[in-house]
């Protein structure tokens, strides 16, 4: 139980920091400080991913968001003339604040009213064994079946996947093969598109 307690404490502290950092990002007058706050929020979200047993996603978050996107935004800040007082509000500030708080309460209401499935309701023993990593695959007339290999150990947290990176990799090349190709196409087209936009036309 003590492990759970520390996870809960970390979760509450980190989510408080995330909300504080997000509010700072959208309210800061100095836009460079806003960008620094944004990278702080990214790091805190990566901590949330580690708490949720999504190690691979946490590492990708730090690599891509903190490493690449924050640097791109820091480059974009160079185009602003008055960085210190550059982030001004539009005239729809109050209306958008009202709209966003309304949407927030609607989202909370929906998430509280809906009854989500729980991990505790999985009763298939093969599925439990597979999720906890104790399985071997058995090929039977073309389809691959999961067989329970060992007795389940007690105290295993349901929903925690052993070796989730391996499972993400095999998902990417089996269940999500077409979306993966589409993502590659989108990345290539974004690369070519941004180069085409930036390229200076030669003066004739």
Partner 1 sequence: MTLDSLLILSAAVFCIGLYGILSKTNIVSTIMSIELMFNGIIIAAVSFSRFTPSALLMNNSSDVSSFALNTALSGHVFGVFIISIAAAESALALALVFVMFNKKSSVDIVDFNELKG
Q: Applying CB under 8 A, does 52 fall inside the site for partner 1?
A: yes
Work out how close the CB of 75 gets to partner 1 at its nearest, in angstroms, rounded to a whole number: 6
Element at 136 (helix H, strand E): strand 135-140
How many Å apart are CA 180 and CA 113, to the nearest integer? 34
Secondary structure class of 154 (helix, strand, coil)? coil
Binding mask 123-152 for partner 1 (x = CB under 8 A): xx-xx--xx---x-x-----xxxx------
Q: Which is nearer to partner 1, 151 or 178 (CB)?
A: 178
CA dihedral 22, 28, 30, 32 (to 10 degrees): 0
Work out how close the CB of 182 gets to partner 1 at its nearest, in angstroms, rounded to a whole number: 9
Residue 69, Cα to own-chain centre: how many angstroms? 14
Q: Applying CB under 8 A, does 116 fall inside the site for partner 1?
A: yes
The upper half-sphere exposure of residue 46, i.e. CA atoms within 13 Å in the direction of its Cβ, equals: 17
Work out how close the CB of 5 gets to partner 1 at its nearest, in angstroms, rounded to a whole number: 11
Size of the site for partner 1 (CB under 8 A): 98
Secondary structure class of 97 (helix, strand, coil)? helix
Residues, the chain: 204
CA dihedral 121, 126, 128, 134 (to 10 degrees): 180
Out of 30, 33, 53, 156, the residue judged to bind partner 1 by CB under 8 A: 53
Considering only residues 55 to 114 of the shown chain, the ones binding partner 1 according to CB under 8 A are 56-57, 60-61, 64-65, 68-69, 72-73, 75-77, 79-81, 86-90, 92-93, 95-97, 99-101, 103-104, 107-108, 111-112
Work out how close the CB of 91 gets to partner 1 at its nearest, in angstroms, rounded to a whole number: 9
Q: What is the largest CA-CA distance in the chain?
A: 77
Considering only residues 161 to 200 of the shown chain, the ones binding partner 1 according to CB under 8 A are 161, 164, 167-168, 170-172, 174-176, 179, 183, 186-187, 190-191, 193-195, 197-198
Instruction: Quote the Cα angle for 79-85-90, to 5°.
Output: 90
Work out how close the CB of 203 gets to partner 1 at its nearest, in angstroms, rounded to a whole number: 14
């Amino acid at each position: 139980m003590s492990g759970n307690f520390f996870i809960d404490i970390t979760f509450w502290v980190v989510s408080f920091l995330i909300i504080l950092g997000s509010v700072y990002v959208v309210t800061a007058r100095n836009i460079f400080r806003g960008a620094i706050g944004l990278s702080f929020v990214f790091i805190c979200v990566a901590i949330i991913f580690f708490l949720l047993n999504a190690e691979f996603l946490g590492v990708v978050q730090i690599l891509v968001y903190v490493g690449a996107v924050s640097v791109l935004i820091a480059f974009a800040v160079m185009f602003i003339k008055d960085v210190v007082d550059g982030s001004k509000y539009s005239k729809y500030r109050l209306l958008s604040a009202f709209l966003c708080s309304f949407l927030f309460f609607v989202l909370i209401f929906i998430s509280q009213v809906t009854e989500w499935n729980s991990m505790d309701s999985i009763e298939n023993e093969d599925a439990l064994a597979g999720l906890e990593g104790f399985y071997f695959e058995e090929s039977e007339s073309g389809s691959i079946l999961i067989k329970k290999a060992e007795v389940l150990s007690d105290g295993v947290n349901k929903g925690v996947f052993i070796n989730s990176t391996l499972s993400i990799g095999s998902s990417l090349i089996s269940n999500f093969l077409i979306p993966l190709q589409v993502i590659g196409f989108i990345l290539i087209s974004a690369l070519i598109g941004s180069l085409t936009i930036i390229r200076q036309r030669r003066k004739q």
